[in-house]
A and B are shown apart, each in its own frame.
Chain A
Amino acid sequence: MIRAKTLQDLFKRYRRPGDLVFAVAFLVFSLFLAINLGDQAKWSSGRLLAQPAFWPHLAVWMMVGFGVLHLIGSLVSPKLAGRWVEVAFWVRSLEFAGWFLGYVLLVPRLGYLPSTLVFMTVLAFRLGYRRPVLLVGSAGVGLCIVLIFKTFLQVKVPGGQIYELLPDALRSFMLTNF
């Protein structure tokens, strides 16, 4: 392993495969915002620096300006192998964003505790954990999370619609604690 030699050296960041794809996507997004600037951040009369449109304009032109320079940097640098493998990794991670949103939609219906137990066990199975100790362990971790945050710290997570089917005393207990 070769060591960093200077202070500047330490802060240098290096390109990785996929850098060009990100640079293009970021610039396209910045240009889209720049095209919409006139409509979405309108100038009015008054001093330039105190206008509400000043900061959105500054921000978008910073994004466009630096984005162009970043893209030029990527274009003139030697091509790195593995660009599309990297993009495939980004796309693969979308699956877990989907799992997260599924969990978000499940909680108001099934309730925080049951949703967490189901989510953690099923996702642990999907991740390749097959040993019962890990599957039960993941449900156990889920239970601990609910006990700490909902039962003890009382964070704002609504009760599930399914709790309405429970007898009065149990329903109120579940709504307050789980």
Chain B
Amino acid sequence: MEDFTSGLALLARWDVLAALLIGSVGGVVIGAIPGVGAAVAIAILLPATFSLDPLVGLTILLGIYGSSMYGGALPAILINTPGTAVNALTTYDGYPMTQRGEARRALALAYSASFFGGVFAILCLILLSPLLAMVAPHFGSREIFLAALLGIILVVLAHRGQVFAAGMLAGFGILLHTIGLEPVTYTRRFTFDQTWLAGGVDLIVVVLGLFALSQAFLLLADKDTTPHPQPVKGSMFGGMKELWGYRRVASVASGFGVLMGMIPGVGEFTAQFLSYTYAQKTSKTPEAFGEGSPEGLIASEAANNAVPGAAMIPLLALGIPGEALTAMMLSVFYVHNVIPGPQLFQKQMDFVYALYAAMLILNVIVIVFLLFSTNILTKVIQIPTRFLGLIILTLSFVGVYSLRNSVVDCAIASAFGILGLILKRLNLPLVPIILGMVLGGIMEAKLRTSMVRVKTPLDFVDRPIAALLVLMILMVIGLHIRTLIKEHRDRIAEMDHDHDIHTSQQG
């Protein structure tokens, strides 16, 4: 309790509160504009936050991360285009509701479900934190190496139907991390005697290229379009009351969000899908799903908003990011010499609680903002797509160039921008590259440290958590093989699948 109150005290500063306001409102606006999304915004803002106080910088980024999905529901419901990739499932029931004249009801429910999911996740984390603080110190080098390995395996296997592509891109990410002067023995790796490669490839340059520049190139090279949502009439205040009637679905969906958010490499899509399937199976009107079912909308929105809070667990407790956005945030921690991991939970618990409290407050700010500003947002999203590309391109310059004022960095980012564009057009995942880069670095450092004590392969699993992690890795691989066999048996033709939802699974 003492840590919690001192965490709250850390937040009681005008700059932190201003960051909360800017991050949460900015996140909603960014989320509402189709074609931007939290990943693009966080990539651009990363270098700018390096000069800020760690709590201020992280609060802005957390605000964008936590609130973009609220905003993303708006175009998903009104114009059948998800604002962010994770709102794709929201279009299934949100848009049919708009078509039958229930746009206000759909939006009110989506906002309320998002708020419920977000707050549920943070309350779970606050309650879980003492337990995490007890367990985290038992994670030594071996355990962190194994957890990172599990993360890489999961991120590859989670891209079903594209496992080979995800595997080769994860390998590419690991390779990117190894380029340059190796820090322990000072060996040059893949520098080809080029001085500009000796310093290695910066994660932020890659992130900006893959997420921001690629999106700018994509919008600029494609046809110009302008979304035209209709204004929404009536008050948004009825959503919470109606949500209460669906509290079981909202609670289970949020629970899935928390569980899936905690597992590296899995995230929003699995959480949404599990909760959507659960809601449909237990509904009295399963046939209404996909035709404008409030339960489907609630399941999707409550699950995806519960993930950001939970995704902070592996990041803060073990220093292992589970997806691209937390991987980006990890660099902010490192720049400020705040090293996430077991030590953080032991020594800076107040800082952890401050982050949780900030997330709680941002959910309140966002819901209040949305209740009054939905119609303003419908005007903001009417930006022509090519013009949006121009703005992202100009903003990307600040992100890359302000790092080291290096033209080479900008050229490398451009190359990754083209690669990102090709991957997006081919519907191949970007996340394995980023996680390969970050988790590759963690795995190399931790494996080397742990080798000092490991004499035989069995020494690797002589501690309970390490043994459990190895068991989990074997189980994940075993389950994957079992599913492949089962899928092969009940083969579904490729064209029977819904392609629309896959196209939006980027970032």
Residue positions of A touching B, CB distance < 8 A: 1-5, 7-16, 18-19, 22, 26, 30, 33, 36, 40-42, 44, 47, 49-50, 52-56, 58-63, 65-67, 69-70, 73, 86, 89-90, 92-97, 99-101, 103-105, 107, 116, 119-120, 123-124, 127-129, 134, 138, 141-142, 145, 149, 153-158
Distance of B241 from chain A, by nearest CB (Å): 30
Residue positions of B touching A, CB distance < 8 A: 47-48, 51, 92, 158-162, 164-165, 167-168, 170-172, 174-175, 177-178, 182, 184-185, 187-192, 213, 216-218, 220-221, 224, 269-270, 273-274, 277, 290, 384, 386-387, 389-391, 393-398, 401-402, 405, 407, 410-411, 414-415, 417-418, 421-422, 425-429, 436, 440, 443-444, 447-448, 451, 483, 487, 492, 494, 496-502, 505
* Bound CA span A101–B499, Å: 35
**A3, B390: Cβ atoms under 8 Å?**
no
Specify which of B162, B398, B483, B500 is in contact with A13 (CB 8 Å cutoff).
B162
* Bound CA span A36–B190, Å: 8
What residues of A have a CB within 8 angstroms of the CB of B389 in the complex?
96, 127
Q: Given the known A-B contacts A62-B171, A66-B164, A101-B411, are A22 and B221 also in contact in the complex, defined by CB atoms under 8 Å? A: no
Distance of A168 from chain B, by nearest CB (Å): 24
**A93, B220: Cβ atoms under 8 Å?**
yes
**B174, A12: Cβ atoms under 8 Å?**
no
Distance of B50 from chain A, by nearest CB (Å): 9
Distance of A1 from chain B, by nearest CB (Å): 6
**B168, A63: Cβ atoms under 8 Å?**
yes
* Bound CA span A73–B159, Å: 15
* Bound CA span A105–B160, Å: 42
**A7, B428: Cβ atoms under 8 Å?**
no
Which B residue sits closest to A62, measured CB to CB? B171
**B175, A101: Cβ atoms under 8 Å?**
no
**A10, B398: Cβ atoms under 8 Å?**
no
**B51, A153: Cβ atoms under 8 Å?**
yes
Find the residue from A12, A44, A92 having the highest chain B CB count within 10 A: A12
Which A residue sits closest to B417, measured CB to CB? A97
**B273, A7: Cβ atoms under 8 Å?**
yes
**A4, B497: Cβ atoms under 8 Å?**
yes
Main secondary structure of the interface of B (DSSP, over half): helix
* Bound CA span A138–B220, Å: 14
**A52, B451: Cβ atoms under 8 Å?**
no
What residues of B have a CB within 8 angstroms of the CB of A104 in the complex?
397, 401, 407, 410
Which B residue sits closest to A144, measured CB to CB? B391
Q: List 5 A-B contacts (CB under 8 A).
A: A12-B161, A13-B427, A60-B171, A103-B394, A127-B389
* Bound CA span A42–B405, Å: 33
**A4, B221: Cβ atoms under 8 Å?**
no
Total CB contacts across the A-B interface at under 8 A: 244
**B174, A59: Cβ atoms under 8 Å?**
yes
What residues of B have a CB within 8 angstroms of the CB of A97 in the complex?
213, 217, 414-415, 417-418
What residues of B have a CB within 8 angstroms of the CB of A33 in the complex?
175, 190
What residues of A have a CB within 8 angstroms of the CB of B502 in the complex?
10, 12-14
* Those 8 A-B pairs whose CB atoms lie nearest each other, nearest first: A62-B171, A12-B161, A11-B160, A66-B167, A66-B168, A13-B162, A59-B175, A59-B174
**A50, B448: Cβ atoms under 8 Å?**
yes
What residues of B have a CB within 8 angstroms of the CB of A65 in the complex?
167-168
Which B residue sits closest to A142, measured CB to CB? B394
Which B residue sits closest to A77, measured CB to CB? B494
Q: Given the known A-B contacts A14-B494, A149-B48, A155-B398, are A7 and B274 also in contact in the complex, defined by CB atoms under 8 Å? A: yes
Which B residue sits closest to A56, measured CB to CB? B178
Specify which of B164, B190, B277 is in contact with A40 (CB 8 Å cutoff).
B190
Specify which of B171, B192, B402, B436 is in contact with A155 (CB 8 Å cutoff).
B402
* Bound CA span A41–B170, Å: 19
**B428, A13: Cβ atoms under 8 Å?**
yes
Distance of B299 from chain A, by nearest CB (Å): 14
Q: Given the known A-B contacts A52-B189, A90-B418, A107-B401, are A10 and B159 also in contact in the complex, defined by CB atoms under 8 Å? A: no
* Bound CA span A105–B274, Å: 49
* Bound CA span A50–B505, Å: 36
What residues of A have a CB within 8 angstroms of the CB of B402 in the complex?
149, 155-157
Specify which of B171, B184, B220, B277 is in contact with A7 (CB 8 Å cutoff).
B277
Which A residue sits closest to B429, measured CB to CB? A13
Distance of B391 from chain A, by nearest CB (Å): 6
Distance of A172 from chain B, by nearest CB (Å): 19
* Bound CA span A11–B427, Å: 11
